[in-house]
């Protein structure tokens, strides 16, 4: 299966593990990810707070490049994904918008192709069966809180692949890897997004809540598909512990990292050493459970 | 108690009704049920809840909405837009208010629009975000020189922050997008 691939800015910096583990899984699952040459930033949450047309044009240029090749586009980062889905919907709905966007990017873009979140590509395209049959080191006994956050599922009118409340796709992947997704109520709560840095007193309690509830529900770790969520829950976990007098020690993974581990990747080749909350004690524990 | 002369704000109410209508948001659909506020993760930090912000616009009190902290504390999580039983896109309304407030220079939490401006400058200049430059410029512009100062080295140590700007082979396409958008906006 061949699909255009838009990694997004985070996957070269804060989300480098996401890039490494995605590449590993793609090669194991015969998924041909064709990285768009010269891709640009989607504008993130800044463009839509500044100028509506700019927030459409920046993602549209990338989609137009994929459309020219007749390809759908896979997007790992949940935040980028939501920007692409927004443009796609607006261009399909309104011819005037389509023309404005085409003029701004100086390219045709008719939204005949689809943006697909990498989670959807693996859970729905490649399929759970193939994932299950590629597992060599099952995540036996690992209790995982699948954290979807905001952008994979909201707002539903954009036509997402999973439901807006209580989504399932990541839970299904974890089950296919032999792990145990925990039942918990905070799958789609907001982590505080940019407010964690822009207004920490208001933002930090949101990530705190997610960690707290995951822990009470018995999770040993969280998984996500969003570099922003991961940064808030992983990099800022120490700050949360300090400022909100907590004592969390919950590793946070990209779902592709757990897939890669179960398919036999070494922790280092997929960047597990780059986490801030050290996941290695837990990873070693999975190994021991498996041999026990 | 503050009194508001609603006949005086009638024309503003009409102006905003039309402005939002053009973006697909029907203000008069809102029946003030409060479901948006109930699900909003930032509501407790806001000066006007999402429901109240809609009400301000219905009543023509746009100036109050534009000067609120609410619009800058909104994390764009889309919960309100997802759950509104009347299909009022409150998240998009927040975007429109932010854009207007910023252009009018009345942002109540200036650091947020400064962040967005700095972020977009980085995208315009490099095609992608150059995080190191973004962090340094933002801290300088908000005079929070030591804000999150420990994070930079921490990230660099893990190979998550680079000294050098990203190189994007886009043939200048991104700069041209910014130029065309600016041309269209300014006229
Ligand atoms: S949920 Fe919708 S109808 Fe209810 S108060 Fe909010 S905007 Fe109005
Ligand atoms: S998008 Fe903004 S206003 Fe709406 S629920 Fe999220 S934080 Fe609240």
CATH for A145: 3.40.50.11810
Beta bridge partners of A35: A5
Beta-carbon contacts of residue A271 (< 8 Å; ≥ 6 apart)? A16, A17, A20, A21, A257
- Per the structure, the count of domains in chain B is 2
Chain A interface test: which of B77, B85, B99 (most A C-beta within 10 Å):
B77
A143-146 and A180-181 beta bridge pairing = parallel
> What is the predicted pLDDT for the residue at B165?
86
Q: Which residues contact A243 (CB under 8 A, 6 or more apart)?
A: A200, A204
How many CB atoms sit inside 10 A of residue A32's CB?
10
Q: Do A177 and A45 lie in a common domain? A: no
CB contact under 8 A, A154 and B79: yes
CA A65 – CA A68 distance, rounded (Å): 5
Per the structure, the complete domain to which residue A33 belongs is given by 2-117
Mean residue pLDDT of chain A comes to 95
Q: Please enumerate in sequence order all residues whose Cβ is within 8 A of that of A205, keeping only pairs 6 or more positions apart, or say none.
A: A192, A244
Q: Are residues B94 and B131 in the same domain?
A: no
Percent of chain A residues topping a pLDDT of 90: 92
End-of-domain residue from the set A117, A139, A165: A117
- What residues of chain B, 65 to 104, have a C-beta less than 8 Å from chain A? 73, 75-79, 81-82, 89, 91, 95, 98-99, 102
Structure tokens at B116: 């967005």
> B115 and B98, same structural domain?
no
User: Based on the domain organization, do B74 and B122 belong to the same domain?
Assistant: no
Output A36 or B156, whichever has higher pLDDT.
Answer: A36
Domain stop point among B85, B104, B123: B104
Indicate if A108 and A135 belong to the same structural domain: no
The tokens of B143 are what? 């005079």
Task: In whole angstroms, give the CA distance from residue B98 to residue B110.
Answer: 11
For A147-190, how does the pLDDT look when each residue is reduced to its tens digit (9 = 90+)?
999 999 999 889 889 999 999 999 999 999 999 999 999 999 99
Report the domain count for chain A. 2
* pLDDT attached to residue B153: 81
Closest to A74 measured CA to CA, from A102, A36, A28: A36
Domain endpoint, select from B72, B104, B136: B104
Q: Is B85 exposed, middle or buried (0-12, 13-18, 19+ CB in 10 A)?
A: exposed
Residues B21, B37, single domain; the answer is: yes
- What residues form DSSP beta bridges with A252? A222
Q: Which of A17, A13, A126, A107 is nearest to A62 (CA)?
A: A107
Beta strands in chain A (DSSP E): 2-5, 32-35, 73-75, 115-117, 143-146, 180-181, 221-224, 252-254
CA distance A40 to A88: 17
Cα B78 to ligand 2 centroid, rounded to whole Å: 6
For chain B, state the CA radius of gyration.
Answer: 20
pTM for the model stands at 0.94
* Paired residues of A221 in beta bridges: A144
Phi and psi, residue A33, nearest 5°: -90, 110
Residue corresponding to tokens 């592709």: A256
* ipTM score for this prediction: 0.93
Q: Is B128 on the interface with A (CB under 8 A)?
A: yes
Look at residue B72 and tell me if it is in a domain.
yes
Domain carrying residue B173: 111-186
The C-alpha atoms of residue A127 and residue A1 are separated, in whole angstroms, by 12
Residue that finishes a domain, picked among A66, A89, A117: A117
The CATH number covering residue A12 comes to 1.20.1050.140
Give the pLDDT of chain B (187 residues) as one tens digit per residue: 778 888 889 999 999 999 999 999 999 999 999 999 999 999 999 999 999 999 999 999 999 999 999 999 999 999 999 999 999 999 999 999 999 999 999 999 999 999 999 999 999 999 999 988 998 899 889 877 556 667 788 888 888 888 788 888 899 999 999 999 999 988 6
Say if residues A45 and A291 touch (Cβ distance below 8 Å): no
Q: What is the pLDDT of residues A203-242, one digit of tens each?
A: 999 999 999 999 999 999 999 999 999 999 999 999 999 9
Residues B61 and B123 in one domain: no
Beta bridge mates, A222? A145, A252
Distance B152 CA to ligand 2 centre (A): 29
Using the Cβ of A100 and the Cβ atoms of chain B, whether some distance falls under 8 Å is answered with yes
CA distance A58 to A47: 8
Q: Is B1 within the bounds of a domain?
A: no
On whether the CB atoms of residues A167 and A153 are closer than 8 A, the answer is yes
**In Å, how far is B109's CA from the nearest CA of chain A?**
10
Token pair for residue A252? 């946070």
Rounded CA-CA distance B138/A212 in Å is 31
How far, in Å, CA of A172 to CA of A240, rounded? 30
A123 in any annotated domain: no
Contact B79 A45 (CB under 8 A): no
pLDDT on residue B148: 65
The predicted pLDDT at position B156 comes to 84
* Domain's final residue, options B104, B139, B167: B104
Nearest to A145 by CA among A246, A251, A244, A237: A251
What would the mean pLDDT of A46-57 be, rounded to a whole number? 95
**Residue A291's pLDDT band (cuts 50, 70, 90):** low
A9 touching chain B per CB within 8 A: yes
């Amino acid at each position: 299966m061949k699909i255009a691939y838009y990694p997004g800015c985070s996957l070269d910096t804060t989300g480098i593990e996401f890039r490494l583990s995605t590449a590993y899984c793609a090669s194991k699952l015969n998924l041909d990810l064709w990285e768009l040459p010269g891709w640009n930033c989607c504008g993130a949450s800044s463009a839509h707070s500044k100028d509506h047309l700019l927030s459409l044009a920046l993602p549209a240029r990338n989609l137009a490049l994929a459309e020219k090749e007749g390809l759908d586009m896979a997007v790992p980062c949940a935040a980028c994904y939501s920007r692409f889905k927004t443009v796609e919907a607006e261009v399909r709905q309104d011819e005037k918008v389509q023309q404005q966007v085409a003029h701004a990017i100086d390219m045709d873009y008719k939204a005949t192709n689809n943006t697909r979140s990498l989670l959807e590509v693996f859970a729905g395209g490649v399929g759970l069966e193939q994932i299950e049959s590629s597992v060599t080191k099952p995540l036996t006994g690992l209790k995982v809180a699948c954290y979807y956050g905001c952008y994979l599922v909201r707002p539903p009118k954009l036509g997402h692949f999973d439901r807006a409340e209580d989504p399932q796709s990541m839970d299904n992947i974890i089950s296919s890897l032999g792990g145990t997704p925990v039942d918990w109520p905070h799958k789609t709560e907001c982590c505080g997004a940019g407010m964690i840095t822009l207004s920490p007193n208001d933002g930090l309690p949101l990530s705190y809540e997610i960690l707290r509830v995951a822990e009470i529900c018995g999770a040993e770790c969280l998984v996500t598909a969003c570099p922003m969520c991961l940064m808030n829950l992983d990099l800022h976990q120490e700050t949360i512990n300090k400022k909100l007098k907590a004592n969390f020690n919950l590793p946070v993974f990209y779902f592709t990292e757990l897939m890669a581990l179960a398919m036999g990747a070494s922790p280092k080749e997929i960047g597990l050493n780059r986490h801030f909350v050290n996941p290695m004690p837990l990873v070693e524990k999975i190994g021991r459970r498996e041999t026990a | 108690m503050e009194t508001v002369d609603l006949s005086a704000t009638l024309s503003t109410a009409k102006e905003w009704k039309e402005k939002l209508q053009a973006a697909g948001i029907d203000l008069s659909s809102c029946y003030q049920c409060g479901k948006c506020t109930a699900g909003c993760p930032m509501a407790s930090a806001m000066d006007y809840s999402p429901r109240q912000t809609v009400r301000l616009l219905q009543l023509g009190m746009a100036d109050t909405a534009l000067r609120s902290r609410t619009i800058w504390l909104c994390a764009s999580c889309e919960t309100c837009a997802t759950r509104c039983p009347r299909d009022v896109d409150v998240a998009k309304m927040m975007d429109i208010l932010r854009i207007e407030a910023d252009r009018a220079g009345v942002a109540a939490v200036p650091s947020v629009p400064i962040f967005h401006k700095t972020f977009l400058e980085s995208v315009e200049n490099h095609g992608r975000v150059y995080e190191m430059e973004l962090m340094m410029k933002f801290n300088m512009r908000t005079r929070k020189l030591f804000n999150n100062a420990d994070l930079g080295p921490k990230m660099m140590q893990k190979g998550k922050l680079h000294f050098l700007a990203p190189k994007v082979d886009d043939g200048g396409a991104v700069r041209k997008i910014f130029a065309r958008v600016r041309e269209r906006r300014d006229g």
